[in-house]
Amino acid sequence: MPVLLSKSIRMFCAGCFFFVGCNHQVERKFFFDNPPQTRIERFRQYSLEDQYRIFRYGNDKIEPPVMSLDEVIAERGASVVPFLLRQLSSKSDDIAIRDALLVFRAMAVSKSYDVNSAPAVMAVLSARISGMKDRDWQSFCRRTLQQIKDVK
């Protein structure tokens, strides 16, 4: 029995190490295996799902945060909206809300999608911001939403 238990523990530890080692592999490779000068060009070649994961990693894990990747996602226009709304409905943390909101702001500013004339989208954004736990991030997101509303 002790040999079996020991083997099980080793297998569990190896599995955890493998999982942690593989976590964010695409994202880390994107930022660290290639020069920053080609970042935007390379970023455009990824699927929307991978772009969003890379964007979030660059925003949340890299210091200083990697700016402008939201603008590339925003270039896709209305086709991104269902994906972003799914992100907002499936992720409850404040940082996920902030990151989705940044893409919506980039869409509004670039005019790739008229966020203001989509009342359902604006309602979802308002509701998600109202439910945020961290008051500092909530304040930031309220200002960001106001920036979206101010786009003419």
Please write the tens of the pLDDT for every residue from 24-82.
677 888 887 778 888 899 999 999 999 999 999 999 988 888 888 999 999 999 999 99
Q: How many CB atoms lie within 10 A of CB 149?
A: 12
pLDDT at 13 over 70: no
Both tokens assigned to 3: 């040999």
Residue type (1 letter), 68? S
Over residues 82-106, the pLDDT tens digits come to 999 999 998 779 999 999 999 999 9
The verdict on residue 1 lying in a domain is no
The verdict on residue 40 lying in a domain is no
The verdict on residue 6 lying in a domain is no
Q: Which of 107, 145, 143, 95 shows the shortest CA–CA distance to 123?
A: 145
* Structural domain count of the chain: 1
Mean pLDDT estimate for the chain: 86
pLDDT, residue 17, reads 37
| Contact residues for 47 (Cβ-Cβ < 8 A; gap 6+) | none
pLDDT, residue 106, reads 98
Q: Of all residues in the chain, what percent carry a pLDDT higher than 70?
A: 84
The verdict on residue 135 lying in a domain is yes
Q: Name the CA dihedral angle for 31, 32, 34, 35, rounded to a multiple of 10 degrees.
A: 80
CA dist 87 to 21, 100, 125, 150, Å? 25, 7, 12, 24
The verdict on residue 23 lying in a domain is no
Give me the domain span that covers residue 144: 46-150
The verdict on residue 11 lying in a domain is no
Q: Which backbone phi and psi does 47 adopt, to 5 degrees?
A: -65, 160
| Contact residues for 122 (Cβ-Cβ < 8 A; gap 6+) | 115, 116, 148, 149
Q: Region 3-14: what's the mean pLDDT?
A: 46
The verdict on residue 4 lying in a domain is no
Both tokens assigned to 4: 């079996």
**How far apart, in whole angstroms, are the C-alpha atoms of residue 94 and residue 134?**
7
pLDDT, residue 35, reads 83
The verdict on residue 71 lying in a domain is yes
